[in-house]
Structure 1
């Protein structure tokens, strides 16, 4: 145990005291805040979308073009993703003389070509036809920009519905009464704390999904750190000294636990920053978040699955790295394991909609998927036997992974020649304590 703790401390401090780690620890919250704030800032700074309307329907004051123009002036049409109200732009003089949608298309194309890369050119909506068969074409200066077609379609659909109600003999008052009718459907569940489902009732599920993605990130980052450490010691032949003074199990577990403790240190620092930031939230929101996160023992279970999942995958990566001579070889061997994690992440998305699906329940018991899926099952009140079975199977798999990793570490760590996949498997199976 003493040698294991020494190796753990060595691996932990080897990364903790490096300038790169300290810089990453500071940079992570800054980058996270920037990734959220910069797009919002860009959206606010971007000019509002402009729309010009060319109405060729000939329907007079009640035309869809006039109705839509009024809606745009009222700020009823918004542009994604900024959600800022669109502005009504005057129709360019070069296009005003068009009499058909086809002729308008030719003139608009020439107008955009002449304008070149001018900033914030208006989108141009061309309307033609009758209420029975309305033709609407939206022209935008660039094909890759997010346009207003969905919003404009909704506004034109409302106009068309009103026109058809008028044609059916309804007066304006009855039409407005029908158009203003709305109903709010509230969702209730016996599992909700107040009967009606609120955001606080969904936080545990959202947190469980976050833990699954966090574990995936830890495994992907940790695999490179573990493999790099093993290969560095092997190439410098330091590993030969270590193997003679410590058991391979201590070497393997020391590395995995050291990297795990490093990640837990980062998570602890971020959790502390989050607790400080929570003091600036409204009291009711802070209390709701606390209750949701501690519901059903969510945080202890999250720690259990993070630790056990990382131990299982970390042991496999450490064993594989022992057979590699270069980082490139380690990457080629680790790639299949990393690709395997795509499957549980896809299952996590499916589990959000069908948490009690037989496929999800079975997959949560399969050890490679258990740390990703079982926390969602815990949040959804999975039976105790199911959670305990999943943990037991994952514990056995982790023990087997450590055993195989130790054998691989002992067999492969001292080999300096080229190692193929088949020789890796053969030597692992034939190795003896």
Structure 2
């Protein structure tokens, strides 16, 4: 154990003392803060823009204005519904509701001219018009065609399409109202029909008490599935992050003949165990630091935002549930060892970074397959494909976590854990053979096939001797 500890300490301190490690550690929270801040400021700092509608009457302009008012009303409803869900009194949530409805960016102004050529100076910014936000040029103008079949949208910035999209929705609703009026129906006929439709609330069947059939689905019911998906992705991210450490570290030690020195003091299994533990500790340090950042952020949000603690509590309960936590821990350890020894063994066969780069493509494909499986399992955990893929060793660590919230048969859980143990043990045994051949005897990537054959007891054809 002392030799394993010494190898672990040497490699771990070598990684964490590097500036690149601390930059990687700080990159994720910094980018999250910058990304969130950028999105917030981009939404709030977007400039107010003016548009005009050239038409004989104000029918189309009124329809577009009505669409913006409808969106504002929907924002108020959503803000109030969120406040009720989070148990926030409406008087305390009034500020958030005002923020949700006070972000309008498009305002209609009277058209300063009637033709496109006459409007060109206002569209190009040579002249300005007065509006709610002061003097500004026209951002866009809608011009009704002569046949009345098109409301042409003219703007000097074709990349911002939100105003035109709002106008399209407004024209569709206007067409529906005209069709309803022509049929002798009220303009609110469709809305009344929607309000009179039969509701379809979701309920979860329970059998805890006699006479009770279940309760309506809440976030507490959905939290286990969300947490399991996060844990599966967390494992995938950890596996993805070990490639660089295992490949680059192994190549460097092989090229510098450090293996020869190390193996004079420790045995090969001890060397492998120490290196795996060191890289696991490095990635765990990064993941735990990011998790701590998320926990601190959640705690601050819970203390500052009323009702946030009630929203977070179901996720905490799901993450600490032994039924999910124990299989997740087993999957984490075995999945890490399985992929870790694979990458380390392949890295021991490379002398240069160029050789390692030839391995990155198949490794990336190997890592993307579990990500596809995670996506499918999250969308439809009961799919037969997921049930079959859960027995494939490269998918089992991820899919076992995702299946736990859906109460799979206990015999399947235990059998898949046993299968992971057997496959991981076999992978460690084979990786030790390959690692010995690469690190000690200097074998290259081209000799991998022969090494695998010899490891499983198959003998290749002897090479012909020269006369």
Q: Same fold (TM over 0.5)?
A: yes
1:2-48 CA distances to partner (integer Å, 9 max, x unpaired)?
A: 32232222222222333433344344322222222222222211214
CA contact (8 A) 2:240 2:367 kept: no
Hey, what does 1:124 align to over in structure 2? 141
Q: State the superposition RMSD in angstroms.
A: 3.6
Partners in 2 of 1:192 and 1:319 — Cα distance?
Answer: 51
SS, match of residue 169 in structure 1: coil
Which of 161, 174, 177 aligns to 1:162? It is: 177
Hey, what does 1:141 align to over in structure 2? 156
Instruction: Tell me by how many angstroms 1:370 deviates.
Output: 1.3
Instruction: Tell me by how many angstroms 1:128 deviates.
Output: 5.0
Instruction: Tell me by how many angstroms 1:73 deviates.
Output: 6.3
CA contact (8 A) 1:53 1:69 kept: no
Q: Residues 339-358 of structure 1 correspond to what in structure 2 (within 5 A)?
A: 339-358=365-384
Partners in 2 of 1:245 and 1:120 — Cα distance?
Answer: 78
Which of 53, 56, 60 aligns to 1:64? It is: 60
Q: Residues 19-418 of structure 1 correspond to what in structure 2 (within 5 A)?
A: 19-55=19-55, 60=57, 63-72=59-68, 76=72, 84-90=103-109, 93=112, 96-97=114-115, 114-115=124-125, 122-128=139-145, 134-170=149-185, 175=189, 178=192, 181=195, 185-190=200-205, 195-280=215-300, 281=302, 282-295=308-321, 297-416=323-442
Partners in 2 of 1:209 and 1:176 — Cα distance?
Answer: 39
Instruction: Tell me by how many angstroms 1:403 deviates.
Output: 1.3
CA contact (8 A) 2:67 2:166 kept: no
CA contact (8 A) 2:390 2:400 kept: yes
1:362-415 CA distances to partner (integer Å, 9 max, x unpaired)?
A: 111101111222211112222222222222222222112211211111101134
Partners in 2 of 1:325 and 1:290 — Cα distance?
Answer: 46
CA contact (8 A) 2:324 2:405 kept: yes
CA contact (8 A) 1:308 1:395 kept: yes
Partners in 2 of 1:43 and 1:10 — Cα distance?
Answer: 48
1:309-364 CA distances to partner (integer Å, 9 max, x unpaired)?
A: 12111100000011100122123223202212222212222222221111111111
CA contact (8 A) 1:8 1:257 kept: yes
Relative distance call for 1:371 and 1:146 in structure 2 (3 A) is farther
1:273-315 CA distances to partner (integer Å, 9 max, x unpaired)?
A: 4444444314423433322323463333333322221211110
Relative distance call for 1:107 and 1:320 in structure 2 (3 A) is farther
Q: TM-score, normalised by structure 1?
A: 0.82
Relative distance call for 1:18 and 1:420 in structure 2 (3 A) is closer
Relative distance call for 1:397 and 1:52 in structure 2 (3 A) is farther
1:223-257 CA distances to partner (integer Å, 9 max, x unpaired)?
A: 11011111111111110122233232222222122
CA contact (8 A) 2:53 2:111 kept: no
Partners in 1 of 2:321 and 2:269 — Cα distance?
Answer: 37
Partners in 1 of 2:25 and 2:252 — Cα distance?
Answer: 24
Number of residues paired by the alignment? Answer: 412
Q: TM-score, normalised by structure 2?
A: 0.76
Q: Which runs of no fewer than 5 residues in structure 2 stay unpaired?
A: 76-99, 129-135, 209-213, 303-307, 458-467
Q: Which runs of no fewer than 5 residues in structure 1 stay unpaired?
A: 98-103
Relative distance call for 1:143 and 1:298 in structure 2 (3 A) is farther
SS, match of residue 123 in structure 1: strand
Q: Decide which moves more: 240-249 or 269-278.
A: 269-278
